[in-house]
Amino acid sequence: MLNDKVTIVTGAGSGIGRSVAMICAREGAKVLVSDINVTSGEETAAMVKAAGGDALFFPADVGKPADNKALVEEAIKQFGRLDVACNNAGIAGMRAHLTDYSLDEWAKVINVNLSSVFYGMQPQITAMLATGGGAIVNIASILGAVGFSTTTAYTAAKHGVVGLTQVAALEYSARGVRVNAVGPGFIHTPLISELEQNPTVEAMLVSAHPIGRLGKPEEVAELVAWLASDRASFVSGAYYPVDGGYLAR
């Protein structure tokens, strides 16, 4: 499905990003694994190789434009081109009502979760246009479509990711670059591990998903791999929830 497609996955040291790297490699992609955490990023690359896939690790802080540019340059240096990018890296941020939300925390979450997607797509799209096109999948959230109390910056950022995705699709689809967003529900990842430690909160989260459970990272990754492939050749500018029915309530 992704035979020899050169693929960047950010935030690939754990959770959804790790699963995206593993599944894209399983489908034949050459994966440049990236994460700010060198140890976990190298571990993902090693896991891909152990499973028979092709992967290299390159450290990057997606909140820095220069790191995003360097990441794309590394993909071209190592593999000769860039075909696919999954902008997945993100943080949860603090939990607080809007009037209590820290200004520093707001700036941090918006930078890592929203500005990073802009910083990433600029060099990614430029590289893809140079070789005839490609596919970008941005990881948003169900909170890119609805609100959730005490997640001021996270919700704002994920709504922004959906908007950025739509604009990029409008501007570059005709030139061969498809851009889509995926909106995971609550998924078993380190991002929500703190919430899961409280049985009452976990039960509340499970009950919010009509399917009756939280999601698995690989369930999100399977959709990402499809959107990145030529099987989704007429899909661009779309927002796909992977949420066990959360948004259908």
Catalytically annotated residue among 101, 119, 154, 246: 154
Helices (H), the chain: 15-26, 38-50, 65-79, 103-110, 116-130, 152-172, 193-196, 199-207, 217-228
Give residue 196's pLDDT band: very low, low, confident or very high (50, 70, 90): low
Angle 116-130/152-172 helices, nearest 10 degrees? 20
What CATH number should be reported for the domain whose range is 6-189+217-240? 3.40.50.720
What is the number of other CB atoms lying within 10 angstroms of the CB of residue 37? 14
pLDDT of res. 36: 98
Predicted pLDDT at 199: 83
The pLDDT of 218-238, averaged and rounded, is 98
The reply to whether 154 belongs to the active site is: yes
Reply yes or no on whether the pLDDT at 192 is more than 80: no
- If you average pLDDT over residues 154-177, what whole number do you get? 98
170 within 8 A of 236, measured Cβ to Cβ: no
pLDDT digits (tens, 9 = 90+) for 15-62: 999 999 999 999 999 999 999 999 999 999 999 999 999 999 999 999
- Gap between the Cα atoms of 91 and 23, Å rounded: 22
**Domain segments of the chain: what residues?**
6-189+217-240
pLDDT of residue 189: 84
Q: Is 213 helix (H, G, I), strand (E, B) or coil?
A: coil
* Rounded mean pLDDT, 227-238: 98
What does the pLDDT read at residue 155? 98
